Amino acid sequence: MTLAMTLGWLATVAAVGSSPRPAGTPARAQEVKVTVLSTMLAGDPARGIGEWGFAALVEVDGRRFLFDTGARPETVVRNAEELGIDLATVTDVILSHNHADHTGRLLALRRSVSARNPAALARAHVATGIFWSRAGQSGSAGERNGLLPIKAEYEALGGVFVEHRGPVELAPGVWLTGPVPRTHQERNWSGSLVVKAPEGDLEDTIPEDASLAINTDQGIVLVSGCGHAGIINTVEHARGILGGAPVHAAIGGFHLFAASDDHLAWTAARLKAARLGHFLGAHCTGVEAVYRIRELVGLPRRRAAVSAVGSSFTLGKGIDALALAG
């Protein structure tokens, strides 16, 4: 069976629906490390460049996933090289949502590694809604979905998209949330676009926004790209998938940079109730928002920091914020 046939078969199986909840005790990951490869700040003067975007390498018990791909052509490729990370060993990509600052380098990354490993970055996991067309509220011409213009080319390069309608276990203890229910009114989107959903034209709330929830003995390690569904909606959905476990760590973009003081206070109270243990806020989280969450949740400095390129969270060790935010 060729690579394309194998990946196509896997895509068909996964797209049928969500994996069932595991019988008995859910699987728990033992070794987890999340390393940020794209965000605004460069935390080490010798390594890395910043950009408005997000990407992270997620390593769980020997499996590696690339979560989002950054924005500019060379950012993630260069940062991975300077950090000593070989992306040719990564087969699976998770795309949190359709925006170009999270999907824009998918093609460049696939091209950079496919010659050394034809299976590298060849399978991209997405949630339902990511391929729906977007247009401006004013009816302005041109496709506004950042992923659609590159979908066919990625597939021509041997890549396969695996679409998930609900929560799915990608590896033991590693769950993709699928689309997140909007229980609370966390309005984390611009409102400037219309999405062409099956039921008609609707305000684009980024319905496909999805995160990773990794189940561990200490609790959930949550990885988010932008958190357009809302950090609390995402946390509660992840806890529902994993039996109400506490949130041991939240890492990534959570779109709080423009949040009001009242909203940050409400968010922090909910995170405290979820027993948030570590907070590494990247990308659109916002610098001030990280500090406010840290203060209001009552986390010490070593357990809550602004993320930089190369910063990381390791299960059992905590956050390595590097020199800039350490």
Strands 278-282 and 304-306: parallel
Query: For residue 9, is it within any domain?
Result: no
Q: What is the pLDDT of residues 76-108, one digit of tens each?
A: 999 999 999 999 999 999 999 999 999 999 999
What pLDDT score does 6 carry? 39
* Number of folded domains that form the chain: 1
What pLDDT score does 143 carry? 86
Range of the domain at 197: 30-316
* 134 Cβ contact list (under 8 Å, min separation 6): 98, 143, 144, 145, 193, 194, 195, 196, 204
Note the pTM of the prediction, 2 decimals. Answer: 0.91
Query: For residue 3, is it within any domain?
Result: no
Q: What is the pLDDT of residues 282-304, one digit of tens each?
A: 999 999 999 999 999 999 999 99
Query: For residue 22, is it within any domain?
Result: no
What pLDDT score does 22 carry? 45
Q: Residue 1: how many CB atoms within 10 A of its CB? A: 8
Query: For residue 65, is it within any domain?
Result: yes
Amino acid at 230: G
Here the CATH number for the domain that contains residue 192 is 3.60.15.10
pLDDT < 50 positions in the chain: 1-22
DSSP letter at 97?
A: S
- Residue 29 tokens read as 């990951």
Query: For residue 87, is it within any domain?
Result: yes
Query: For residue 128, is it within any domain?
Result: yes
Query: For residue 323, is it within any domain?
Result: no
